[in-house]
DNA sequence: ACACAATACTTAACATGTGCAACAATAAGG
DNA sequence: CCTTATTGTTGCACATGTTAAGTATTGTGT
């Protein structure tokens, strides 16, 4: 039988395991606030945006497909965490921003999230972490 | 508002993006053979195993939860790619191995997979790749 | 202006996977 | 034995992935 490179050494698997290890720290925090990973990605990207974002932008930055994102936004909208409006300049687009509640929720989660991130940074090492981030970025760009 | 570290620089997001970039090369190949990522993970791990594996082992190595794995194995079983038998030594366990068809399918996919992996290795650089794999492993262990 | 293509987003429909709880079968320990 | 733990499966509710179709709007060529 053809032997593939060892399963453990495969890059996609290594990336999956590493991500899983990292996310293990954050998942309980998100669960406390009834947020999925994807919902949190959307909230984060909106929180860091200067101005309302259109759906396409959000999709690009969160790595979500249009249909998934539509549903997620509908859910966040129902929960009152985001506000959707038709872009006055282009009625095809809808622009999205955090509501006051959304900002409050984000502000309540962010410090905890930051702390857990710092824990990773400390146990892994800040130097190695920034090294890793550079490599990941380069991998992404080399494709 | 509390500002979290930049969205782009967050480790989980960077890992997600990098994995996505890597998987983009493999997904079309898997799609050709009607395999999901998870199914392929199971086939790979079985292909590299010396002897039949029990379900718990497979779950650990593929990062799949028991219920998901049960269903995936049922599907692969229906397609005739794997064989499930009750472990004679412990009737609670079921042991799984590739069928002859499963081995054939794996053998047909493996060379293509290997080639695409080599492409990544070349465009990213073998040295950086092994460097990255080491860091990922260390991150995983540091948790 | 007008017809037609392109764009942005939504909706629908289906498959897959997650996460939790309940369950059956079996094994292990007092 | 009797109880408890383990292993795997199943059921359920839910979220997402994925493709295709649909709606509204905008852009373009003539």
A53: enclosing H helix or E strand = strand A53-54
Q: Please give the full DSSP string across B72-96, using - where no structure is assigned.
A: HHHHHHHTTSEEEEE-TT-TT-EEE
Nearest by CB to A110, which of B4, B107, B131?
B4
Per DSSP, A6 falls in state P
The nearest alpha carbon in chain B to A44 belongs to: B7
pLDDT at A142: 85
Average pLDDT of chain B? 89
pLDDT at B97: 93
Strand D and A67 CB separated by under 7 Å = yes
pLDDT at B7: 57
What's the CA gap between A114 and A81, in Å, rounded? 21
Task: Give domain limits for chain B.
Answer: 10-141
What are the pLDDT digits (tens) for A35-76?
999 999 999 999 998 889 999 999 999 999 999 999 999 999
Give the class (CATH, top level) of B10-141: mainly alpha
**CB distance A22–B139 less than 8 Å?**
yes
What's the CA gap between B94 and B81, in Å, rounded? 16
The whole-number average pLDDT for the span A88-94 is 92
What are the pLDDT digits (tens) for B22-70?
988 888 889 889 899 999 999 999 999 888 999 999 999 999 998 999 9
pLDDT at B76: 93
Q: Which nucleotides of D are covered by protein (CB under 7 A)?
A: 6-12, 15-20, 24-27
CA A31 from centroid of its chain's CA atoms: 15
What's the CA gap between A75 and A70, in Å, rounded? 9
For B111, residues 6+ apart whose C-beta sits below 8 A from its C-beta are A2
pLDDT at B6: 61
What's the CA gap between B75 and B109, in Å, rounded? 19
What are the pLDDT digits (tens) for B87-101?
888 899 999 999 999
pLDDT at A127: 92
- Is the CB of residue B47 less than 8 Å from the CB of residue A1? yes
**CB distance A63–B113 less than 8 Å?**
no
| Tokens of residue B1, six digits | 């508002």
pLDDT at A7 over 60: no
The whole-number average pLDDT for the span B122-130 is 92
The nearest alpha carbon in chain A to B110 belongs to: A4
- Determine whether domain A35-118 maps to CATH 1.10.10.10: yes
- In DSSP terms, B82 is beta-bridged to B98
Q: Which of B5, B24, B115, B21 is nearest to A126 (CA)?
A: B5
- Is the CB of residue A19 less than 8 Å from the CB of residue B19? yes
pLDDT at B66: 87
CA A14 from centroid of its chain's CA atoms: 19
pLDDT at A9: 65
The whole-number average pLDDT for the span A100-122 is 92
């Amino acid at each position: 039988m053809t032997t593939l490179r060892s399963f453990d050494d495969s890059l996609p698997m290594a990336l999956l395991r590493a991500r899983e290890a990292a996310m293990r720290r954050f998942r309980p925090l998100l669960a406390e606030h009834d947020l999925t990973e994807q919902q949190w990605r959307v909230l984060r990207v909106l929180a860091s945006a200067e101005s309302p974002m259109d759906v396409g932008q959000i999709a690009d930055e969160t790595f979500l497909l249009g249909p998934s994102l539509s549903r997620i936004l509908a859910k966040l909208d129902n929960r009152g965490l985001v506000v959707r409006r038709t872009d006055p300049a282009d009625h095809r687009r809808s622009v999205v921003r955090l509501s006051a509640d959304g900002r409050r929720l984000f502000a309540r989660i962010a410090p905890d999230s930051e702390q857990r991130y710092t824990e990773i940074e400390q146990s892994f090492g800040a130097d190695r972490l920034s090294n890793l981030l550079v490599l990941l970025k380069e991998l992404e760009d080399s494709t």
